[in-house]
Amino acid sequence: MDNPDDTGHATPEPPYYAVIFTSERTDVGDGYAETAQRILELAVRQPDFPGVESARDDALGITVSYWKDQASIAAWRKHSEHLEAQQCGRKKWYRRYSLRIARVEQVKAFDVDIAI
């Protein structure tokens, strides 16, 4: 069973990988929204990128991107525009962040619209 995410994509059956990016923003917003949108557009076009989920409030942001394997994650990390965005993030947009990579072994989901 595929699992829909925020991009309208569906994550594949496990196993696959999740990259969990947790961040705290600075007060600098110059170019952030446009860059975030561009990075999402690029990520969606990657062949081994099944989707992403993201949430942010005033203090904390959590983005979970899903990838077929560790090689796909490594390739994305080296993408030229992604590298530029990472540099801008460290220089002006993020006060702190952490990045975790986990292998997804199992998925359980509930949707009230399809519950029996």
What pLDDT score was predicted for residue 45? 95
How far is Cα 3 from Cα 107, in angstroms, rounded to an integer? 8
**Burial of 101 from C-beta contacts in 10 A (0-12 / 13-18 / 19+):** exposed
How far is Cα 43 from Cα 76, in angstroms, rounded to an integer? 8
Regions in the chain scoring below 70 on pLDDT: 1-10, 115-116
Q: Which domains does the chain have, with CATH numbers?
A: 16-104 (3.30.70.100)
What pLDDT score was predicted for residue 66? 97
- Under 8 Å between Cβ of 17 and 68: yes
